[in-house]
Structure formats: C-alpha cells, structure tokens
Amino acid sequence: MLVLELALRGLGGSAYVAVRHAEYDYFTWFIGLVFLPTIVTVVMLVITTYKAHSPVRRPALLALGLIVVASAITLAVNGPINVEQLSWSTQSPPADWAAIRDRWQIAHAVRTLALILALVALSTPATARRTGHSPDEA
C-alpha cells in the first residue's frame, strides 16, 4: 500500500481521481469483508482471556484499542474523504485535491501504524510462549 500511495503522489489531479475511483470498486467491499471477522475475533479473544485471567489479556486489550483507534480514524477522516472523492470529476478535480489527498494519506499512515502495532501486540504472546518467556516479563 505504501508503494501505491507514494506512486499516487506523482500523479496529476485527473489521474489521481481516476485511480481512486477504480480502487473504491474493490477496496470498499474487501475491507468490510476483512474488518468484521477481525474485530469479532479480537473482542472474543479479549473476553476469553479476561475470563481466564490470562497474561495474554493485556496484549489483546492493547490490540483491540489500536483497532478501535484505526476504526475511528477511518470513520472520522478516511471514510468521509472517500465519499467526497467519489463525486469528483476526473476531468476537473477540485482545486484543493492535493491537500485532501495529503490529509487522507496522513490519516491512512497513522491507522496503518495502529493496525501494525495491533498485530505485533497479538503476536507477542505467541512468540513469548515459544521462547519460554512471559509477555509480562521485562
């Protein structure tokens, strides 16, 4: 995704809008398809680890919090920009299209970092178990 976003920075307004319109046809349903099982699974993990008083509870809670942060960014920034960009004309993008693109890309980078950190948090207990160390040991 980073490579695509960097490549999009080199496009003019018309080409940028055309690429965004093409992306929405596929990314919207795909993200929806992936998000629901992810959030349900992590919530179930948090509930299970909480009931079992497992040391994995903290990393699971951290991961859930990071997923919630990423979702909030999507709902507050990226989603509204996506909807706005769908109405843009490839023939005449708005004058401030580059500023909007930049705001979208910054929010996307932040939410991607949050999701990567969530994955790391979920991976830490498994790694610690294989090496014989508890994730709570420092």
What is the pLDDT tens value at each position of the chain, 138 positions in all? 677 787 888 889 999 999 999 988 888 888 889 999 999 999 999 999 999 999 899 999 999 999 999 999 999 999 999 999 999 999 999 999 999 999 999 999 999 999 999 999 999 866 566 555 555 554
Is the distance from CB of 106 to CB of 78 less than 8 angstroms?
A: no
H helix count then E strand count, the chain = 5, 0
> For residue 68, what pLDDT is reported?
97
Given this model, what pLDDT does residue 138 score? 47
- Write out the H or E segment, with its range, that includes residue 61: helix 57-73
Confidence (pLDDT) at 29 = 85
Q: What's the one-letter identity of residue 57?
A: R
In this predicted structure, what is the pLDDT of residue 129? 60
Instruction: With beta carbons less than 8 A apart as the criterion, state whether 23 and 86 touch.
Output: no
Q: Report the candidate in 99, 39, 108, 26 with the shortest Cα–Cα distance to residue 67.
A: 39
What are the percentages of helix, strand and coil residues in the chain, rounded to 5? 80, 0, 20
Model pLDDT, residue 133: 58
Where along the chain do its domains lie?
2-127
Query: Is 11 in contact with 114 (CB distance < 8 Å)?
Result: no
CA–CA separation, 5 vs 10, rounded Å?
Answer: 9
Residue tagged 């349903």 (tokens) = 29
75 secondary structure, DSSP code: I
